[in-house]
Amino acid sequence: MNHFAPVALDVARIRQDFPILTQTVRGKPLVFLDSAASAQKPRAVIDAMVTAMETQYANVHRGLHWMSERTTEAYEATRDDVARLLNAADRAEIVFVRNSTEAINLVAYSYGRGVLKPGQAVLISAMEHHSNIVPWQMLRDERGIELRVAPITDAGELDMAAFELLLADGKVGLVAITHMSNVLGTYTPAARIVQIAHAHGAKVLLDGSQAVVHRRVDVQALGCDFYAFTGHKLYGPTGIGVLWARRELLEAMPPFMGGGDMISSVSYERSTWAAVPHKFEAGTPAILEGIGLGAAIHYVEAIGYDAIAAHEQALTEHAILRLSAIDGLTILGHAQDRGGVVSFTLANAHAHDVATLLDRSGIAVRAGHHCAEPLMHRFGIESTARASFAIYTTPAEIDFLADALVRVREFFA
């Protein structure tokens, strides 16, 4: 596991920024350990969206009146925020979508159908979310693209030797791989993956849905070609996500959807497309959600990724220590480099039952296959319970979880 220089993070003060955390559940203080599914929202995000609705809401881009211009400025400022967050070379490389799923589908549709050729292959890994599996299966079935899967080790790490071997014949046109597993917490060696893929002539898409929440992401340092993430895991609202792609790739890709705002001109005979990124942003966008995402990025940047990474590493190490000591509890995966996600099984208990009993203590965890059925099958299980951490998570909450799991184990003994 990577070690970050300790940076003080005032979690008690941060928790005051999240009004939902003051609630009780079934008479118990809320212990929210499901942030990998969707994080809670700070007051800054809520206020930004409410203020936009109350004082300056209008449709963007098309209006010439004051209100539309102000709303457009606020919405487009988020594109600059995202470009800064990812260290993109050009704000035009930031395409707004609904979520990571839409971002990956956009690449599958536009790059997969517009650039990849039948007989080429897409390479994914055995730890992918369904959002990074199903679009490529659809492309395979429609266009004759081969789908290859790089295996993982029992520790839950990418088998790099096998990964490179799958690239050896030069047929892989695109590697699409998670930056951080939503089940195992594993960070993939993204820069090394990109280096190997590029050496074999393949472009690389990184699913950063989890990673961008916990560590600083620099797409230029990573060297990747596409990067996807979603706003609602980064303390922003649902309905807004991001695809970053190198401008030359976006220029070469056909539009994903047709409609208003993605055109330069329209006649009954033909249409021409707007410049990137608007070529990929048909219709009225998620205006308020975009403004909310900008506020979330400002919030995270004000705290600082060094502090966030150090805090969450300490939480993860504490959670592994506490949970590993519980008889009958098995943690899935033990990668050396991992983030704040811990999935586990409990002997003689179904994950859904574990989550239900934890809920009686006010503890929110996720249970199921976590949209990663093939990964579950790789480990010979159907489901896990999953605890996931955020900037507002405390060591005391992890202790509360561990104590509650002891009681759950005793219930099923």
Catalytic residues, which ones? 371
Omega within 30 of 0 (cis) for the link into 277: yes
Distance CA 118, CA 121 (A): 8
The Cα–Cα gap between 115 and 113 comes to: 6
Question: Looking up tokens 């303390």, which residue turns up?
Answer: 235
Asked whether 300 and 17 are in contact (CB, 8 A), the reply is: no
Helix (H/G/I), strand (E/B), else coil: 229 = strand
What tokens does 130 get?
């369904």
CA 281 to centroid of chain Cα atoms: 20
Tokens of 257: 């959807």
Q: Is the dihedral of CA 128, 130, 132, 138 positive or negative?
A: positive
Residues forming beta bridges with residue 207, ordered by sequence position: 178, 228
Distance between CA atoms of 16 and 35, rounded to whole angstroms?
Answer: 17
Provide the pairing of β-strand 384-388 with 366-368: antiparallel
Sheet hosting strand 226-230, strand order edge to edge: 94-97, 241-245, 226-230, 203-207, 172-178, 121-125, 146-150
DSSP label at residue 93: G
Distance CA 346, CA 409 (A): 7
Bridge partners, 349 (sequence order): 346
Q: What's the sign of the alpha-carbon dihedral 155, 350, 327, 366? A: positive
